Amino acid sequence: MRTLLIIAGCAIAAVAFAFTAFRDPNRQDGIRWSSSAVEVTIQQDGSDDIGDGSDITAIEQAVATWAAALSSGFTLTVGAPSSARDYGNDGINRITFIESGYPGGTDSALGTTIPSVVTGDPSRLVDVDILLNGEMEPWTVDGVPTGIDIQSVTAHELGHLVGLAHAYRSESVMYTGARSGTTFRRALNDDDQRGARLLTSAGLGCTEERDCPLLVGLAGIGGSPLRLTCNGTSCVPGAVGYGLDCIDNSDCTSGACLRDPASVYSGDPGGCTESCTTGSCPGGDLCKDVGGGNLRCVPGRSCSADSDCGGGANNKCLFDFDGHFRCRHLCMLDQHCTPPARCIDLDYGAGVCHEPGAAPNGAECLDPLMCMGLACRGNAQTLLCETAPTRQDGGTVPDVPHVGDGGWRPDAIGHDASGRDLWHPGYDGGNGYDSADDVGVEPEPPGCACASRTPANVATLLLLPVLAFAGRRRLRLDRVKSPADDARRWSA
């Protein structure tokens, strides 16, 4: 696995988008730890979804992943386990599942990171606790399509513990959104690693602009956003180039910051964009009319909305297994795909057509896209390529059940002022989804068949693919909380 992680980091380096950190409001720097030796305490019971200790191992692995990325001289270690589930400024940096009465409730936030900060000049982290929402389930370590990957979510929270805020790049561990069945965020991408090194080293040294952070305020602490760029060997205020994290247009040398098209929270960063003509964007990024006939690149995305994917009810812009947003064709059977693509499960109910990867069965993997067999399963230590079950029924079933209860569920089509997801009305309530999070206020898209779908249809659809439908959710890592006393809270 060590080798795999290094390879993944190198492969991503060419498209790094830099990172975002929480700002010390009195300085042009991130909020850093008061100590260079941070120990975390794992609550000994782990998740009540897992009884063999692999949940604890997964958390330990997440800690080890960040520990390996910090600057020399800064240590992040796991101390003795504890039975307590306390959180707050008690000198113990606890990681614990909360199985009932989760703060904030079952609001789809998978975890919450609660930092305690000594405010002043400088402001310093003194205690950070991580709560994992045991009311959501199932938490898993084996990469199953319906599972919430313990190691991935813990890794995201630990990024906040280090001092990182959300990143624009959707492949980053620090991106806001998550989804069941994905494990790629067990590994830090290049941006995450740069952020970890910078926040645990002395000062803001740099050799290129993506070494320097976008700084954003932390709820309860304050601090206006500040974009830094590299001036020789140190980070100084200034605009940056294409694709890097931004909040304001002035953060970008192009004068244009494109907000994350799929972001849940208004405070999440966008990416510096630039004008384009079709096919002219760096890295094959999408060139899109962002309004008024203005064509702009969408950094890091080959699509930003379903309408970018050629039309038709079965062509969607989906958050893929490796975090990248891609156009995918929905399917129920292998025969709905053009060979060699196969129909593999997502957590939406329907599957999507995927080209096989290069890795043979038995090779280590982080997501199914890497594998010839389009399945990546294992445990907290190792994920291996397998062959995904064949989705065939002899061809007696009509094509894709693209919309409607029991079928595919799209990404949210928007968000209300509280950050809750907005869904099409047909998805709200009584369908096994996390309906508490559903606010169906938007009109249905053209071609939607929701109104005509009958219970009989639903039963048929559910029987077809593997029984992996229970978890068809789009998971949200984060929910911003207000500060309490000196415990400054953000969530993830």
Contact yes or no for 24/31 (Cβ under 8 A): yes
- For Zn ion, give the closer residue by CB, 225 or 426: 225
To Zn ion, the closest distance from the beta carbon of 484 in angstroms equals 18
Name the maximum alpha-carbon separation found in the chain: 69
Binding mask 426-465 for Zn ion (x = CB under 5 A): ----------------------------------------
To Zn ion, the closest distance from the beta carbon of 16 in angstroms equals 19
Q: Which of 16, 7, 299, 345 has its CA nearest to residue 174?
A: 16
- Which stretch in 17-25, 201-209, 440-448, 478-486 sits in contact with Zn ion by CB under 5 A? 478-486
Using CB under 5 A as the binding criterion, the count of chain residues that bind Zn ion stands at 3
To Zn ion, the closest distance from the beta carbon of 250 in angstroms equals 25
To Zn ion, the closest distance from the beta carbon of 160 in angstroms equals 6
Report the residue closest to Zn ion, judged by CB: 492
Cis peptide before 340 (omega within 30 of 0): yes
To Zn ion, the closest distance from the beta carbon of 169 in angstroms equals 14
- For Zn ion, give the closer residue by CB, 159 or 407: 159
To Zn ion, the closest distance from the beta carbon of 415 in angstroms equals 15
Secondary structure element (H or E) that encloses residue 74, with its range: none
Q: Which of 383, 381, 341, 345 has its CA nearest to residue 362?
A: 383
To Zn ion, the closest distance from the beta carbon of 284 in angstroms equals 28
- For Zn ion, give the closer residue by CB, 20 or 54: 20
For residue 156, how many other CB atoms are within 10 A of its CB? 27
- For Zn ion, give the closer residue by CB, 386 or 411: 411
- For Zn ion, give the closer residue by CB, 332 or 475: 475
Q: Could you tell me the end-to-end alpha-carbon distance of the chain, in angstroms, rounded to an integer?
A: 26
Strand partners, 128: 115
Binding mask 213-252 for Zn ion (x = CB under 5 A): ----------------------------------------
Strand partners, 84: none
Q: For 68-180, where are the alpha helices, taking DSSP H only?
A: 150-162
Which residues fall within 8 angstroms of residue 69, CB to CB, at 6 or more apart? 188, 192, 193, 196, 197
Note whether 309 binds Zn ion by CB under 5 A: no
- For Zn ion, give the closer residue by CB, 69 or 332: 69
- Which stretch in 27-35, 255-263, 278-286, 477-485 sits in contact with Zn ion by CB under 5 A? 477-485
To Zn ion, the closest distance from the beta carbon of 324 in angstroms equals 19
- Which stretch in 65-73, 279-287, 360-368, 473-481 sits in contact with Zn ion by CB under 5 A? 473-481
Give the chain's length.
Answer: 492
Interatomic CA distance for residues 380 and 401, integer angstroms: 34
To Zn ion, the closest distance from the beta carbon of 220 in angstroms equals 16
- Which stretch in 28-36, 96-104, 403-411, 471-479 sits in contact with Zn ion by CB under 5 A? 471-479
Work out which of 62, 136, 162, 492 binds Zn ion, going by CB under 5 A. Answer: 492
Interatomic CA distance for residues 180 and 222, integer angstroms: 33
To Zn ion, the closest distance from the beta carbon of 185 in angstroms equals 11
Which residues fall within 8 angstroms of residue 96, CB to CB, at 6 or more apart? 42, 43, 84, 85, 87, 129, 130, 131, 132
Amino acid at 52: D
Amino acid at 95: I
- For Zn ion, give the closer residue by CB, 24 or 478: 478
- For Zn ion, give the closer residue by CB, 308 or 478: 478
Interatomic CA distance for residues 322 and 309, integer angstroms: 18
Which residues fall within 8 angstroms of residue 363, CB to CB, at 6 or more apart? 370, 371, 384, 385
- For Zn ion, give the closer residue by CB, 274 or 411: 411
Q: Which of residues 143-202 bind Zn ion (CB under 5 A)?
A: none
- For Zn ion, give the closer residue by CB, 8 or 477: 477
- Which stretch in 43-51, 225-233, 268-276, 476-484 sits in contact with Zn ion by CB under 5 A? 476-484
- Which stretch in 91-99, 324-332, 416-424, 470-478 sits in contact with Zn ion by CB under 5 A? 470-478
Q: Which residue has the tokens 């989705």?
A: 391
Contact yes or no for 134/102 (Cβ under 8 A): yes
Cα torsion angle, 266, 267, 268, 273, sign: positive
Interatomic CA distance for residues 36 and 200, integer angstroms: 7
Work out which of 23, 478, 479, 489 binds Zn ion, going by CB under 5 A. Answer: 478
Judged by the rule CB under 5 A, the positions of this chain that interact with Zn ion are 477-478, 492
